[in-house]
């Protein structure tokens, strides 16, 4: 156990806060030992890839840093494979490993920061695909009882950037491994999301392979999203707001040029990035905290911003969008 440890290397926003106590765990056994030896009056804080959190203050807890690695084929047929990845496998490296084996299903999710174990918590998604589409099950340790549970796809109650682990089971489980069902060739290609087709055309590709789709996604993401190794960030900071039909009709009357997606007969999703850009805040900066210059949904740390400064920018963005559009936008990242 180490004490008073900087968490700056362990969060993609690159925020300097200190953990009261800190230890890396490499196995399920380590996890159980850590929880057993933790004094009951100390809080537990579980850290994996640190890619979806904004740390606004020192963490007055025993921080368990997950380092669970490993990949295994659980079953295989001539048309599909079920692959298990341990929680601390880097997401994008896992996607590339699947592509190298010509297993399809995750290519649209290329280059998303973070680790495999966090992917189900917010049902990561991009370019028309979410992990719920290939997710089979996950293994998790129940913190109060130290028992291992298997959660099926249905039991995770996946929604748009939502799962049971953000709601009724928040902070109750430590996810240790995730299983996906991936296809073998011939693959189903998902290019309904317009920009992928445009990018493939630019690349001169008319019948794309899964690797072509991945390369197109990588090119799109690299052109718009900041690399956390260069500029601290947590991907989309806000969720795209979902509004009811009546509110949407009013909104559309005022903003006929706004992009939108129909979620259901009574629900419409508006890109928060558009609302923020139209509010004049794309590229807004206050000290080292700011709104990214190329994708307004992303907040960035240009160097030494504190979590509180990023949070102030977030509040300013929320207030300004509300003043302009009467729509509340909510953070997607966990604010600690």
Q: Does the footprint of ligand EPU cover residue 288 (CB under 6 A)?
A: no
**How are strands ordered across the β-sheet holding 148-152?**
71-76, 80-86, 173-183, 135-142, 148-152
Rounded to whole angstroms, the Cα distance separating 65 from 68 reads 9
Rounded to whole angstroms, the Cα distance separating 10 from 186 reads 39
Q: Does the footprint of ligand EPU cover residue 271 (CB under 6 A)?
A: yes
Binding mask 182-201 for ligand EPU (x = CB under 6 A): --------------------
Torsion, Cα 197 201 204 209, to 10 degrees, reads: 0
When the beta carbons of 124 and 141 are compared against ligand EPU, the nearer one is 124
Give the residue among 45, 51, 8, 55 at the shortest CA–CA distance from 25.
Answer: 45
Does residue 161 carry a catalytic annotation?
yes
Rounded to whole angstroms, the Cα distance separating 130 from 119 reads 10
Rounded to whole angstroms, the Cα distance separating 128 from 48 reads 26
Binding mask 64-103 for ligand EPU (x = CB under 6 A): ----------------------------------------
Tokens standing for 32?
């159980």
When the beta carbons of 31 and 225 are compared against ligand EPU, the nearer one is 225
Q: Looking at 89, 130, 137, 161, which residue is catalytic? A: 161
Least separation in angstroms between CB 273 and ligand EPU: 2
CA angle 248, 334, 166 (to 5 degrees): 75
Question: Which residue of 94, 239, 307, 313 would you call a contact of ligand EPU, by CB under 6 A?
Answer: 239
When the beta carbons of 280 and 303 are compared against ligand EPU, the nearer one is 280
Count of residues binding ligand EPU (CB under 6 A)? 17
Q: Looking at 236, 279, 306, 309, which residue is catalytic? A: 236
When the beta carbons of 109 and 141 are compared against ligand EPU, the nearer one is 109
Give the residue ranges of DSSP H helices in the chain.
28-37, 91-100, 194-202, 210-224, 245-254, 272-278, 307-325
When the beta carbons of 139 and 235 are compared against ligand EPU, the nearer one is 235
Does residue 236 carry a catalytic annotation?
yes
Rounded to whole angstroms, the Cα distance separating 36 from 154 reads 31
Binding residues vs ligand EPU (CB under 6 A): 126-127, 225, 235-236, 239-240, 259, 271, 273-274, 277, 282, 295-297, 332
Active site residues: 161, 236, 332
């Amino acid at each position: 156990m180490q004490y008073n440890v900087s968490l700056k290397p362990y969060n993609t926003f690159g925020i300097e806060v200190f953990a009261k106590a800190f230890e890396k765990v490499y196995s399920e056994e380590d996890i159980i030992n850590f929880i057993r030896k933790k004094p009951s009056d100390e809080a537990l804080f579980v850290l994996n890839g640190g890619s979806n959190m904004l740390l606004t203050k020192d963490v007055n807890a025993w921080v368990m840093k997950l380092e669970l690695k490993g990949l295994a084929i659980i079953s295989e047929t001539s048309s599909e494979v079920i692959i298990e990845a341990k929680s601390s496998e880097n997401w994008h490296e896992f996607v590339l490993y699947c592509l190298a084996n010509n297993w399809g299903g995750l290519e649209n999710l290329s280059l998303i920061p973070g680790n495999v174990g966090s992917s189900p918590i917010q049902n990561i998604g991009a370019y028309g695909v979410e992990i719920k589409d290939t997710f089979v099950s996950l293994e998790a340790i129940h913190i109060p009882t130290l028992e291992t549970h298997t959660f099926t796809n249905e039991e995770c109650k996946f929604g748009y950037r939502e799962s049971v682990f953000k709601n009724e089971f928040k902070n109750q489980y430590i996810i240790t491994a995730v299983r996906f069902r991936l296809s073998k060739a011939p693959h189903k290609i998902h290019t309904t999301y317009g920009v992928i087709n445009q990018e493939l055309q630019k690349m001169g590709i008319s019948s794309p392979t899964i690797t072509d789709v991945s390369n197109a996604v990588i090119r799109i993401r690299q052109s718009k999203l900041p690399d956390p190794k260069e500029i601290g960030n947590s991907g989309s900071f806000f969720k795209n707001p979902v509004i009811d039909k009546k509110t949407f009709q009013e909104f559309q009357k005022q903003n006929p040029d706004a992009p939108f997606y129909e979620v259901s007969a009574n629900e419409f999703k508006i890109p928060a990035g558009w609302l923020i850009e139209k509010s004049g805040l794309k590229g807004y900066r206050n000290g080292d905290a700011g709104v990214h210059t190329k994708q307004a949904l992303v907040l960035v740390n240009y160097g030494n911003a504190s979590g509180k400064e990023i949070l102030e920018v977030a509040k300013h963005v929320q207030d300004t969008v509300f003043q302009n559009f009467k729509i509340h936008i909510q953070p997607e990242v966990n604010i600690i």
